[in-house]
C-alpha cells in the first residue's frame, strides 16, 4: 500500500500559501513580474519564450518505507530554468505542498537573482513533497539519498549545484554531498550550505538575513531612517527571519512584532530576538516567550512600524491584507511573499519595497563564495565573507536603485529589468537566441 502524508503539522511549515480568490499561483506571479519587465525591455516573443521558460524539468518518484511499515511515494522535482550565465544554482525544499508550478516559479526567480547580483550562475530550484516535520532523521536521509541518486545525472559542480531551502539544512546538504560522492568521487562543490566540517562557508547560515539587513541599510537614508529610530516587524522566525531580526536589533532597531507558523507576538518596548531565538532553539513556543503580547497573524501585519520583513511563505501578503500594512518599507526576505494584487495596493500607498530577487540574494552570494572556496580548496575568514557580501549587495542595490530612478519604475520592475537584460545578453552572445 502507498500513500502521501498530509499531516496538519507538516502543512504548517513554510512553503507557499494557497492562492486566495482571484490571486495567481506562484508560477503565474513569477511570470507576471517577468512579463512587466520583458514588456518594458521590448523583448520579442521568441526571446521571451527562450528566457522565460525552463530549459529542463525533471520529476522523479521517491518511494520509501517509513516507520509505520507503509511505502510512501513522494515526488521530487528539479527545474533548471536558465544556464546562460553559468551552472544552474538554487535550493531544494521539502514541503507537502511542493509541486511543479512552485518549483518552476522559484527556479525562474533564481535566474534573475543570480544575474542581479552578477554572480556566474544560472537559476534552478528543487523540491520534494514530503512532510519534513513529521519524518524521522532516518527517513529524511533515505529520501535525500534516493532523490540525489535519481537526479545526479543533471547535477555537477559545473552543471547544477543545489543548496538548502525551506525545511532542508546543512545536514541535508551533507547527505547530498555524500551520496553524490559515492557515485562520482569526492566533490564538495556539488552542493552549498554544507556543514563547516565538510567545506561549508563561514557566514553562510546568516547570509540571507544579513543581506536583507544590508538592503535596509542601503534604503534607510532615502527613507529618512536610522536603525535607532526604526521599528521592525518580522513575519517568519526561521533561518532568514531570525538572523535578520538579530542583526538589525544589534544595530539598534526595535523589533516590535514577530510571527511563526504557530502564532504571533508583539511588544512596543521591543522583543529581544537573541533571547527569543534561544527560547525556540530550546524547544519553547514563540507564543510562550515572556514579556510579549500574543496577537493574531493578521494583527501582526497591521502593527505600526517602519519596516516589515516577510520571511515566511510566498503569497502571504495579498490583496486581502495589503491595505492594512502600515510599514514605510518592506524588505522581502521570503521568495514571492507579495502577490501582484498586493504589490499594486502597496505601490498606491507609497510603501517602498525591496523585492525578493534583490533582498534575499545574500544566501546565494555566500553559496557562490562557498563554491569558490571548495574549488580552491581554501577557506576564507567569516570577516572576509561578510565584507565581500557587503560589497556585492551594495553594488547590486545601487544598480537596481539607479535603474528604478532612471526608468521611473518600482525597485521590483527595475530589478527584473536588470536581471533579464543580463540573462538575455549572455544567451545572445552564446548564440542561443
Ligand atoms: P525556515 O523553514 O527556516 O523558516 C520559515 C519560518 O516561517 C518558520 O519560522 C515558520 O514557522 C514560519 N512560518 C511558516 N508559515 C508561516 C505563516 N503562515 N506565518 C508566519 N510564519 C510562518 O525557512 P527559511 O530558510 O528561513 O526561508 C524563509 C523564506 O525565505 C522562504 O520563502 C525561502 O524560500 C526564502 N529564502 C531563504 C533563503 C535561505 O538561505 N534560507 C534564501 C533565499 C530565500
Rg for the chain, CA atoms, rounded: 20
Q: At what angle do helices 382-407 and 204-223 cross, to 10 degrees?
A: 40
Judgement on whether residues 183 and 266 belong to the same structural domain of the protein:
no
pLDDT digits (tens, 9 = 90+) for 236-261: 999 999 999 999 999 999 999 999 99
Mean pLDDT within 50-61: 97
Name the least confident of 14-23, 89-98, 146-155: 14-23
Confidence band of 15 (pLDDT split at 50, 70, 90): low
pLDDT digits (tens, 9 = 90+) for 266-314: 999 999 999 999 999 999 999 999 999 999 999 999 999 999 999 998 9
Ligand 1 pocket residue status of 355, Cβ below 6 Å: no
Q: What is residue 24's predicted lDDT score, i.e. its pLDDT?
A: 84
The answer on pLDDT for 404 being more than 90 is yes
| Cα 335 to averaged position of ligand 1 atoms, centre (Å) | 9
| Cα 313 to averaged position of ligand 1 atoms, centre (Å) | 6
User: Around Cβ 395, how many Cβ atoms within 10 Å?
Assistant: 12
Give, in order, the Cα–Cα distances in Å from 321 to each of 237, 316, 340, 350. 20, 9, 13, 16
Judgement on whether residues 90 and 234 belong to the same structural domain of the protein:
no
Indicate which residue's Cα is closest to atom 1 of ligand 1.
238
Give yes or no: 349 in active site.
no
Total domain count, the chain: 2
Report if residue 424 sits inside a domain: no
Report if residue 355 sits inside a domain: yes
Measured distance between the N- and C-terminal CA atoms of the chain, rounded to whole angstroms: 48
Confidence band of 5 (pLDDT split at 50, 70, 90): very low
Report if residue 416 sits inside a domain: no
The answer on pLDDT for 7 being more than 50 is no
Q: What is residue 40's predicted lDDT score, i.e. its pLDDT?
A: 97
Judgement on whether residues 222 and 345 belong to the same structural domain of the protein:
yes
Judgement on whether residues 230 and 286 belong to the same structural domain of the protein:
yes
Judgement on whether residues 109 and 178 belong to the same structural domain of the protein:
yes
The answer on pLDDT for 127 being more than 80 is yes
Report if residue 17 sits inside a domain: no
Domain of residue 229, CATH code? 3.40.50.720
Mean pLDDT within 115-143: 97
The answer on pLDDT for 12 being more than 80 is no
Q: Note down the domain range covering 175.
A: 54-189
Judgement on whether residues 235 and 174 belong to the same structural domain of the protein:
no
Report if residue 84 sits inside a domain: yes
Judgement on whether residues 82 and 141 belong to the same structural domain of the protein:
yes
Among 359, 388, 407, the domain boundary falls at: 359
Q: What is the DSSP string of 239-265?
A: HHHHHHHHHHHHTT-EEEEEEETTEEE
The answer on pLDDT for 14 being more than 70 is no
Among 296, 326, 359, the domain boundary falls at: 359
Q: Is 329 helix (H, G, I), strand (E, B) or coil?
A: strand
Closest CA to 16 of 111, 124, 125, 89: 125
Judgement on whether residues 262 and 343 belong to the same structural domain of the protein:
yes
Among 189, 219, 245, the domain boundary falls at: 189
Whether 88 contacts 120, CB under 8 Å? no
Helix ranges (H only) for 117-257 are 137-151, 170-184, 204-223, 239-250
Whether 358 contacts 396, CB under 8 Å? yes
Report if residue 28 sits inside a domain: no
Q: Ligand 1: which atom is nearest the Cα of residue 312?
A: 7
The pTM for the full model equals 0.95
Amino acid at each position: 500500500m502507498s500513500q502521501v502524508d498530509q499531516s496538519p503539522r507538516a502543512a504548517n511549515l513554510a512553503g507557499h500559501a494557497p492562492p486566495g480568490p482571484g490571486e495567481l499561483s506562484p508560477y503565474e506571479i513569477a511570470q507576471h513580474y517577468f512579463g512587466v519587465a520583458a514588456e518594458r525591455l521590448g523583448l520579442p516573443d521568441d526571446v521571451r519564450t527562450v528566457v522565460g521558460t525552463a530549459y529542463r524539468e525533471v520529476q522523479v518518484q521517491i518511494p520509501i518505507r517509513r516507520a509505520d511499515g507503509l511505502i510512501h511515494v513522494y515526488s521530487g522535482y528539479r527545474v533548471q530554468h536558465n544556464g546562460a550565465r553559468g551552472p544552474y544554482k538554487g535550493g531544494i525544499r521539502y514541503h507537502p505542498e511542493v509541486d511543479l508550478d512552485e518549483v518552476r516559479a522559484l527556479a525562474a526567480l533564481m535566474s534573475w537573482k543570480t544575474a542581479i547580483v552578477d554572480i556566474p550562475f544560472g537559476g534552478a530550484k528543487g523540491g520534494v513533497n514530503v512532510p519534513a516535520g513529521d519524518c524521522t532523521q532516518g527517513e529524511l536521509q533515505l529520501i535525500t539519498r534516493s532523490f540525489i541518486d535519481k537526479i545526479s545525472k543533471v547535477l555537477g559542480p559545473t552543471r547544477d549545484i543545489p543548496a538548502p531551502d525551506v525545511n532542508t539544512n546543512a545536514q541535508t546538504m551533507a547527505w547530498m554531498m555524500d551520496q553524490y560522492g559515492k557515485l562520482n568521487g569526492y566533490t564538495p562543490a556539488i552542493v552549498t550550505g554544507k556543514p563547516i566540517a565538510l567545506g561549508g562557508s563561514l557566514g553562510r547560515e546568516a547570509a540571507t538575513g544579513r543581506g536583507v539587513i544590508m538592503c535596509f541599510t542601503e534604503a534607510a537614508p532615502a527613507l529618512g531612517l536610522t536603525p535607532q529610530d526604526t521599528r521592525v516587524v518580522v513575519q517568519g522566525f526561521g533561518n532568514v527571519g531570525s538572523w535578520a531580526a538579530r542583526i538589525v536589533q544589534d544595530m539598534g532597531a526595535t523589533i516590535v512584532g514577530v510571527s511563526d507558523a504557530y502564532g504571533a507576538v508583539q511588544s512596543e518596548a521591543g522583543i529581544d530576538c537573541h533571547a527569543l531565538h534561544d527560547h525556540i532553539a530550546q524547544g519553547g513556543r514563540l507564543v510562550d516567550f515572556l514579556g510579549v503580547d500574543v496577537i493574531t497573524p493578521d494583527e501582526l501585519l497591521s502593527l505600526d512600524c517602519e519596516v516589515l520583513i516577510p520571511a515566511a511563505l510566498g503569497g502571504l501578503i495579498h490583496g486581502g491584507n495589503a491595505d492594512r500594512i502600515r510599514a514605510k518599507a518592506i524588505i522581502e526576505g521570503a521568495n514571492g511573499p507579495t502577490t501582484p494584487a498586493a504589490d499594486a495596493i502597496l505601490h498606491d500607498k507609497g510603501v517602498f519595497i525591496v523585492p525578493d530577487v534583490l533582498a534575499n540574494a545574500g544566501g546565494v552570494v555566500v553559496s557562490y563564495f562557498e563554491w569558490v572556496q571548495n574549488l580552491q580548496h581554501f577557506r576564507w575568514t567569516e570577516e572576509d565573507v561578510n565584507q565581500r557580501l557587503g560589497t556585492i549587495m551594495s553594488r547590486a542595490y545601487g544598480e537596481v536603485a539607479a535603474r528604478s530612478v532612471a526608468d521611473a519604475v518600482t525597485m521590483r520592475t527595475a530589478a527584473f529589468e536588470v536581471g533579464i537584460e543580463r540573462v538575455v545578453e549572455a544567451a545572445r552572445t552564446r548564440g542561443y537566441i
